[in-house]
Structure 1
Amino acid sequence: MRFPAITKARVALLMSTLALVAVPLALSVPAEARPAPASGLRNGGFEEAVATSPVPGWQVAATGANVSLVADARSGRNALKVSFTADGTATVSQVLSRQKASAYDVQVWTRSNGLDGGSVALGGTEWRRTGIPTGAGWTPVTVRGVPTAGGQIEVRFELTGSAGQEVLFDDTALTTGKVVDDFLAGGDLTQLNYIESLGGVFRDETGAVRDPVELMAENGVTLARLRLYNDTGPENHRIGYPDSYLEDGFQDPEDILNLARRARDAGMEIQLTFHYSDYWSNGEIQDIPLEWRYVNDLPYDQAVAELERLVHEYTSDFLDRMVAQGTPPAYVALGNETAGGLLLPYGGSWQEGGSLDVMADFLTAGANAVHETLPDAKVILHLDAAGDQGKYEWWFGEIEKRNVPYDVIGSSYYPFWTQKDVATVAPFFTWAHERFGKPIMIMETGFNWHPVTHDGVEGQLHDNYRYGEDPISQRDFMRELIAAVKALPAGTVLGDIYWDPIFLGVPGAGWQVGAPNPISNTTLFDFDGVALPVFQAYRENAGSLR
């Protein structure tokens, strides 16, 4: 999230069959992370071939597609190939009975020239899915943590395609694992009421007008990020910039409570972010809220102590309001992209007048408030620049020294801002998880689906690094990213939150009052508010009841 820094200088559905994108072989699950194979899966390597069955051990149902074993394998002699000759569907499945009561994982290697939709599914007490990526190389596709149902577990490949599309499968392995939460596919809904107030209308892929929260939930978005400012409006402007402020009445406590109810009613979990500010906060800007600035008249030690008290009190009070209306957040982030600290200058991590000790005290006050009010909620500390190992080693190392009680590492990943592709950033998440012993939540991901905004000008993201700038590239990037992080060792990445899915280019909408909208070309809806093909990537990863 970089709204106040948009100049170039600063750059220096459900069961419909499902799909994803290529992850290099280097992203496969390390050998030490693989449990022992479970017994019973027949012909997982597709080496067994008999004339009486196209794929021995597997059930096949297909229309408009040929299903066969071919000598184009990742290992051994054969691989399973599904080739579409027309618009159609194909399902290849195997049910295993009399399995011991356990959670199971499945991993299969795939190679595809691109499908309309495709998933690897694992069914026990529930169905979980991971989309099949597109790419010239063999890619691991992994589904984790599905318990057996009555001793049964089912492995299934769910495919849709059109003429010329094909996919290969090889080296399918069903293993005993552990019960883990399903992957969280999220979106930031903070500015939704603002956009709708200005006339923003959202439509599904057929053009029908829909409630966007319900539409996103139906298409596999399971987590709503809501970012809270203490107050907004002209009086609460950025310090030193009286013309820089957020629209009054939006993104403030009452607005966020309303959005939380909408998210809950759609069945989403909630990730709440406290900005502890009245204005955009990120690695460079962390203004103290207007109502708290009386601390500047106190002696330094008293000011720090008072801010610590305010953080704890404000956090507890708002969480109490969330609980009271039945919308307790599952995840709570203390600040937004806080590499530079928070509540500057006192809590600055490197600036003059700042102190890492004070920053840690502020974060500890917030974390204690979360854990006291919502013992099951997870506290997130969030930085920008996914892939910057030096930054994370420094900042989280300092947090570690000061024993700040947090639960999850939050990380922003944009191909443009990081100049890194998925293959480069995925191992970074493994490193961070192993180094600090915390899971990762990708707090922000953004991608251009068009080279320019609705105004015909270059937006905040000047490119997508090595990826294209079109709707299909956006879909395939999300397929690639989700597949890659799901293939990492269990518990490494909890989920990914898209930013900003709903910030349409409607008249009057800007990143601050009077400013343009520089991200209308990075949403999950097109310039007319119609759902983009990227929703296919979310559907492909959606779980369901069995």
Structure 2
Amino acid sequence: MRSRLATLGLFAAGLSACAAGVTDPAPATTSAALRDQATAVQTTAPSEWVRGIDVSEARAAEAAGVKFRDLNGTIKPALQLVKDHQYGWVRVRLMIDSDGTYGLFQDLPYVKAVMKDAKARGLKVLLDLQYSHWWTDPGNQWTPARWKGQDLNTLAASVYAYTRDVIAQLRAQNTAPDMVQIGNEVNGGLLWDVGRSSDMGNFVKLSNAGADAVRDASGGRARMPPIMVHIAKTGDAAATVAWYQAFIAAGGWVDVIGLSYYPMWYGDFANLSASVKALRSAFPWARVYLAETAFYWSANQKEYAHLPYPQTPQGQLAYLRTLSPVVRSAGGSGIFYWGAFWSQSGRWLKAPDWTDDDASRRALFDDSARATPAIDGLN
């Protein structure tokens, strides 16, 4: 998602160069054992159809003065709107040493506050560990300054120590996540250049270090949340399955599969259905979620053409009402809407090199911060 927001290759300034204290991560597990482990952990994954919203921007927008409004114009806290519209889950990203520009406010104190708010309202949380200071996606997986220059073993130890501390802090405030993403849209791996997936062994060592840390900080496998591995390949079912086959063959830990689906980049609903069906067939033990999707309520600023519905509030609603049955019938287990609260960004978005704000055209709130009809599109 992020490379489509801006393909600038920018890096946040003023990052800490201090390396965190690290310990050795747990040793790698064999591929067969990990498959058994995945099947065991999968029993703790949510069995209900998951309806979720990514709320990563909401807290910062409210702090900047955005007042989100329900369909009838009533002002409400962002996460109360989530609850009132019958969403059971939120998703929030966690960055490392981001400087607050380009929409990347999500340091650990910010995320801890979001999770307190979510849990107090009875919402479950998918924690998206991005392991970078910058947007992560198939074209951007940049190592934060604190870990620059580390070799593979040291970097894996850093991932383990950082992740274990994050989960420990969240558990200490009684807001343990209900599902954890290790990386975001990790088609190309994470923590480049060491963790590029062109060397799947290196990538898996880093990814498994994060999963091991979630397990250990949670008090063991029986108490840990399921681990999501999330890529953006839904336009090609064979390539999507092949990616996970290679990841698992290299010993990669995955309990649930997360996909991005945006119709302007990843094909039509038939492509999506084929990908979900193929994944369920190849990995019957793994539930499949759309970790990201979105559609336009207003004309896009990127000149994307051939979209499946008009770029209007009703077109946005129609998109989501069509999407849910497609994912369900293919065997998927839920959908998270990306960028729902990306409204009135002039108040909170400091991004001087971006020439447009296309993401705001896909929010679930219009330019007056009033909910669009599509807020009920996943019902």
Q: Check whether TM > 0.5.
A: yes
SS at match of 2:333: strand
Matched, 1:288 2:152: no
Q: 2:345 maps to what in 1?
A: 506
Structure 1: how far apart are the matches of 2:348 and 2:238?
37
Distance 1:381 1:180, change over 3 A: closer
Matched, 1:357 2:201: yes
Structure 1: how far apart are the matches of 2:75 and 2:224?
37
Shift of 1:511: 7.4
Q: 1:531 maps to what in 2?
A: 371
1:383 to 220, 228, 231: 231
Structure 2 letter corresponding to 1:485: V
Cα offsets for 1:430-468 (capped at 9, x unmatched):
11111123211111001011114xxxxx14x72462222
Q: 1:495 maps to what in 2?
A: 334
SS at match of 1:220: coil
Structure 2 letter corresponding to 1:531: A
1:416 to 264, 285, 292: 264
More relative contact order, 1 or 2 (CA 8 Å, 6+ apart): 2
Q: 2:63 maps to what in 1?
A: 197
Shift of 1:181: 2.2
Structure 2: how far apart are the matches of 1:314 and 1:265?
26
Q: 1:188 maps to what in 2?
A: 54
Structure 2: how far apart are the matches of 1:401 and 1:423?
28
Shift of 1:484: 2.4
Structure 1: how far apart are the matches of 2:92 and 2:306?
25
* Kept in 2: contact 1:449–1:471 (CA 8 A): yes
Matched, 1:481 2:323: yes
Matched, 1:435 2:286: no
Cα offsets for 1:476-509 (capped at 9, x unmatched):
2111111222234xxx322101011001133244
Which protein is richer in helix relative to its size?
2
Which protein is richer in strand relative to its size?
1
Cα offsets for 1:504-536 (capped at 9, x unmatched):
133244474653432111011111111111123
Matched, 1:220 2:86: yes
Structure 1: how far apart are the matches of 2:162 and 2:46?
32
* Kept in 2: contact 1:336–1:382 (CA 8 A): yes
Cα offsets for 1:311-363 (capped at 9, x unmatched):
1111111001111111111110011101111111111123xxxx211101111
Matched, 1:471 2:313: yes
Residue identity (%): 26
* Kept in 2: contact 1:451–1:463 (CA 8 A): no
Q: 2:248 maps to what in 1?
A: 400
Moved over 6 A (4+): none
Q: 1:273 maps to what in 2?
A: 128
| Structure 1 residues not aligned, in runs of 5+ | 8-178, 235-244, 296-302, 453-457, 542-546
Structure-to-structure mapping, 1:233-312, within 5 angstroms: 233=99, 246=102, 250-295=105-150, 303-312=151-160
TM-score (norm 2): 0.83
| Structure 2 residues not aligned, in runs of 5+ | 8-44
- Choose 1 or 2 for highest CA Rg: 1
Structure 2: how far apart are the matches of 1:310 and 1:359?
14
Distance 1:294 1:345, change over 3 A: closer
Q: 2:2 maps to what in 1?
A: 2
Structure-to-structure mapping, 1:19-38, within 5 angstroms: none
Query: How many residues of Structure 1 are paired with residues of Structure 2 in the alignment?
Result: 336
* Kept in 1: contact 2:79–2:118 (CA 8 A): yes
Structure 1 letter corresponding to 2:282: R
